[in-house]
Amino acid sequence: MTRQLSVQEALIYAMITMSATDNQMSDAELQRIGTVVKELPAFDGFDATTLVDHAQACGLLMSGTNGLDNVLDSIAASLPEHMRETAYVLACEVAASDEVLRAEEQRFLQLLSRRLGLSSLTTAALAHAAVARNRRP
């Protein structure tokens, strides 16, 4: 079942799902999501106080039958072509924020990139940029 989301909701679902993929939503990941929503132009006009509500709705969709597929379908169906790279790089930002990229997270990124129709060259560049931005000295 595909749920139609706003573009901003779809971006949030991509980040929340990435964070929840390894069953460990770290403080660093949650802080990154909050910062992204508050600072990026993609979220202009978005009411950040509703972020928890959207995260819960994403979790509810994810917990249902075929949850991951439904979330991925909803994200892909709700994003215009020009916002697909944004969704992917935001998921990468969340994954990179705790400096550990687990196998489950890598698998989610593969599934997301396929569902969004992104090339391997594009996804490699976006993932590398996210890791570089989150590196500590």
Tens-place pLDDT, residues 89-103: 999 999 988 777 888
Place of tokens 């949850």: 67
Count Cα neighbours of 5 within 13 Å in the Cβ-side half-sphere: 27
pLDDT at 101: 80
Q: What average pLDDT does this structure show over 27-49?
A: 92
* Tokens linked to 23: 């069953």
What are residue 44's phi and psi, to 5 degrees?
-55, 130
pLDDT at 5: 95
Quick one: angle between helices 84-97 and 27-39, nearest 10? 140
Place of tokens 């989150």: 134
Q: What is the mean pLDDT of the chain?
A: 92
Helices (H), 25-119: 27-39, 51-63, 67-78, 84-97, 103-116
Give the predicted TM-score (pTM) of the model.
Answer: 0.93
Residues 66-90: pLDDT tens digits? 999 999 999 999 999 999 999 999 9
* Tokens linked to 54: 């959207």
3-state secondary structure of 26: coil
